[in-house]
Structure 1
Amino acid sequence: MISFVVPAHNEARLIGATLRALQQAAQALAEPFEIIVVDDASDDATAAIALSCGATVLTVAHRHIAATRNAGAALACGQRLVFVDADTRIGEAVLRAATRAMDAGAVGGGVAVELEGEVALQARLAARFFAWIFRLTRIAPGCFLFCTRAAFDAAGGFDLTYYAGEDVAMSRALARQGRFVILREAVHTSARKLHTFSAWEHLRLALRFLWKRQRMLTSREHLDLWYGKRRD
């Protein structure tokens, strides 16, 4: 079985399309699957939409992405885990490549990412640059990360030390368990952070990270890009 784990906080606007894409991709593979939406303290219709799409909904109040992902994994029954953000759409080719990689012995991996909607040229170039860096360093973008259950358990799950950057820590932890791959197939994810936060805010975040390094990722302070109120 493939277990999709979808962490979500106030994702009513986008989660329906994400879940329908997951269903279509999994059905095309003709393999058993389940979708677990971990509704983390939402006050909108996220849970209702997820239920209407046939997903299992687990309600938590962590506001801590690593803990939220782990809660979904704990409920999952599958031996192949796929973590997908609520604003990310996948296709059959991506899922097929991920399952084939695990069947061929990979412990896990990630994919390329394409931004949806109107995005300035410089932002698209920056996204491609970071995609190259992720591929070079074998880091899976958090919007889509897959792994075997055995490797997930051996790695100890997502590191609860981090409120952001948990995808980087998990990629490294999985790589210590075996072969970790970054596929060339791409998922499509929302570019809303580029629209709802200014270029200055992104720069300020980057500068603060250069100053504080990993310490910055161990609390929600200064992490409005992930934990602040949506402005879209």
Structure 2
Amino acid sequence: MLVSFCVPAHNEEKYLPATLAAIHHAAHALQYEIIVADDASTDATAAIARANGASVVSIGRRQIAAARNAAAALARGPLLIFVDADTRVTPAAVRQAIAAVERGVVGGGGPVRFDGVVPLYARLAMPPLMWLFRIFRYTGGAFLFCTRPAFDAAGRWDESLFASEEIALANALKKLGRFHITRDGVITSGRKLRTHALGELLSAAWGAAKSRGQSLRRREGLEVWYGPRRDDPGGTHAHPEPPPVSRPETR
């Protein structure tokens, strides 16, 4: 089975090499392809992607849902694995995703752990959040997989959303069949937590709650995701293979 790794990227020249190296390592025994959707980058993202064995599609939308859809449009495999450009997959997570699909699962995701040092509130919040995601079968967009037929039937990534699009896709996939959370997970960047104050993160969350999700349909007010990227000296993106993240597997 051909596995298509779809990577959305905007100005990710620092993180992308480790992301692609981790994919190559995790998938070396598989038939696979990597498609990077370069969304309005002004750095060397596209060149780095090509130099590291990925196909590249360029768009100018500056929207992660649109970038993921653009990568998926070029994908040839029956299994799509969406990996953010600042995220490092593990071999175990990829193996478990494939095994789940072979058992008839339509899609799923896995637990995440942040790289580097993140604030105390994040370290305290992540274990219960990952537990809730496992219980209610949700996943972050950093690592989400699904079959091509299910992806198309679910309506693909909702391009009316600028954030929380992974929740919308997970809900649509769960209407089609089983949605699986792997035991092992991935390492994703904790840069937003290191470079933004807690108040900024809470403000974005409050805006979404107060507007009943309508604020997620416009870029304004979502500067945590779409504002100028702040320098993050605390990441560990130079290490392509992190230790595995293990959790009880949900079937």
Q: What interval of TM-score do these two structures reach, taking the shorter chain for normalisation?
A: over 0.9
Question: Among the aligned pairs, what percent are the same residue?
Answer: 52
For residues 82-139 of structure 1, what are the alpha-carbon distances to aligned partners after superposition, in whole Å with 9 as ceiling and x for unaligned? 0000000011101000000000100010100011101233211212222122112211
Residue 14 in structure 1 maps to residue 20 in structure 2: no
Mapping of residues 128-207 of structure 1, within 5 Å? 128-207=127-206
Contact 2:119 2:193 in 1 (8 A): no
2 CA distance for matches of 1:2 and 1:99?
9
2 CA distance for matches of 1:129 and 1:205?
21
2 CA distance for matches of 1:16 and 1:173?
32
**Equivalent position amino acid for 1:3 in 2:** S
For residues 45-97 of structure 1, what are the alpha-carbon distances to aligned partners after superposition, in whole Å with 9 as ceiling and x for unaligned? 11111111011011100111111111111110000000000000011101000
**Equivalent position amino acid for 1:69 in 2:** R
| Partner residue in 2 for 1:4 | 5
For residues 184-226 of structure 1, what are the alpha-carbon distances to aligned partners after superposition, in whole Å with 9 as ceiling and x for unaligned? 2110001000111111111222222221121011110101111
Residue 23 in structure 1 maps to residue 51 in structure 2: no
**Equivalent position amino acid for 2:74 in 1:** L
2 CA distance for matches of 1:92 and 1:151?
24
**Equivalent position amino acid for 1:138 in 2:** R
2 CA distance for matches of 1:128 and 1:161?
30
| Partner residue in 2 for 1:57 | 56
2 CA distance for matches of 1:78 and 1:21?
19
Q: Tell me how far 1:6 sits from its aligned partner.
A: 0.2
1:157 is paired with a residue whose SS is: coil
Mapping of residues 51-90 of structure 1, within 5 Å? 51-90=50-89
| RMSD of aligned residue pairs (Cα, Å) | 0.9
Instruction: List 4+ stretches of structure 1 deviating above 4 A.
Output: none
Q: As a proportion of its length, which structure holds more strand?
A: 1
2 CA distance for matches of 1:159 and 1:206?
19
1 CA distance for matches of 2:214 and 2:153?
25
2:211 is paired with a residue whose SS is: helix
**Equivalent position amino acid for 1:186 in 2:** G
Contact 2:68 2:82 in 1 (8 A): yes
2 CA distance for matches of 1:218 and 1:46?
26
* Unpaired runs of at least 5, structure 1: none
For residues 21-59 of structure 1, what are the alpha-carbon distances to aligned partners after superposition, in whole Å with 9 as ceiling and x for unaligned? 0001000xx221000000000000111111110110111
1 CA distance for matches of 2:140 and 2:201?
18
When structure 1 is superposed on structure 2, of 84-93 and 198-207 the one drifting more is 198-207
1 CA distance for matches of 2:58 and 2:214?
29
2:4 is paired with a residue whose SS is: strand
**Equivalent position amino acid for 1:18 in 2:** T
1 CA distance for matches of 2:176 and 2:145?
14
Q: As a proportion of its length, which structure holds more helix?
A: 1
2 CA distance for matches of 1:130 and 1:43?
34
Q: Tell me how far 1:176 sits from its aligned partner.
A: 0.8
For residues 122-179 of structure 1, what are the alpha-carbon distances to aligned partners after superposition, in whole Å with 9 as ceiling and x for unaligned? 2112122221221122112100000001111111111122111110000011111111
1 CA distance for matches of 2:168 and 2:150?
14
Aligned length: 230
* Unpaired runs of at least 5, structure 2: 232-251
